[in-house]
Each structure stands twice: as C-alpha cells, then as structure tokens.
Amino acid sequence: MTPQRQLVLDAVRHLQHATPEQTCQWVQRTAPTVNITTIYRTLDLLEELGLVRHTHLGHGAPTYSPDEHEHIHLVCHHCGAVETVPHEVLDDLAGTIRDRSGFELDSGHVGLSGACADCTERRRG
C-alpha cells in the first residue's frame, strides 16, 4: 500500500460517502500533488481489493464508501437529500428475485430514487 493509496482509503473512510472529486479535495489537503486521475485509478484498485465499494446516487460520478458500510441510499430527486436505511429492508424483494430468476441481489450496493418525506409533504401541502 503506497502512501497515496493509503490517503485515498483514509479519505473514503473519513468521508463515508464521497465522489472521486470530494475524495481528491480531501487527499489534496495533505498531498497537493495527487491528481484526480490518481484518485480514480486508486479507487478502482481499492474496489478490486474489496476495501471500498461504489454506488450510483443519481446522475454524475459514483459515490464511494468503505466496503463494510452497507445500507441502501434513498435519493430525493427533488431536493437531492440522501437518506440511508438498513439493507435488510430489501430481504423480501431479494428473495422474490432469487426465486423467480436465480439472481442474487447485492442490496448493500443500491441507490433508490424517489421523494423524501419533506418534499412529499410539500407536494401534498
């Protein structure tokens, strides 16, 4: 593990949910010469090693989190808020999918889009 790779891993662990750009900003506080290309390559390597995982939370860059950080991201497509719920809430759905198609859902790697409680209330208002 090179010092640069350790910095990237430390950034992901510290930030919990971060895009490559946010990770780069955090790393550059300590190592200003580290560029975004290095961040992307390092995140890919760390994911191959099982140390981080990515989730797509809507449009744009993926969000990286520590591998042990498993939950479902609920993304409001109105205000952009991101909430989390335990990945076990999809256990019944995962069982149905497995029974019907044999597909094993990775429910710790999911972002769902919808409307948060505040936006739903405002729309009903």
Which residues in the chain are classed under CATH 1.10.10.10? 3-66
pLDDT at 12: 93
Residues 40-60 have a mean pLDDT of: 88
Q: Is 41 left (phi over 0), alpha (psi -120 to 50) or beta?
A: alpha
CATH topology of domain 71-124: Dna Ligase; domain 1 (3.30.1490)
Distance linking the first and last C-alpha atoms of the chain: 54
Alpha-carbon distance values, 7 to 24, 47, 51, 89, 108 (Å): 10, 15, 13, 33, 24
Encode pLDDT of 111-125 as tens digits. 888 999 999 999 887
Numbered ranges of CATH 3.30.1490.190 in the chain: 71-124
Cα 32 from Cα 45, distance rounded (Å): 21
pLDDT of 28 reads 97
Could you read off the pLDDT of 35-47 as tens digits, one per residue? 999 999 999 999 9
Separation CA 121–CA 123 (nearest Å):
5
Question: Does domain 3-66 bear CATH number 3.40.630.30?
Answer: no
User: What is the average pLDDT value for the chain, to the nearest integer?
Assistant: 89
> What pTM does this model have?
0.71
Please state the rounded mean pLDDT for residues 100-104: 95
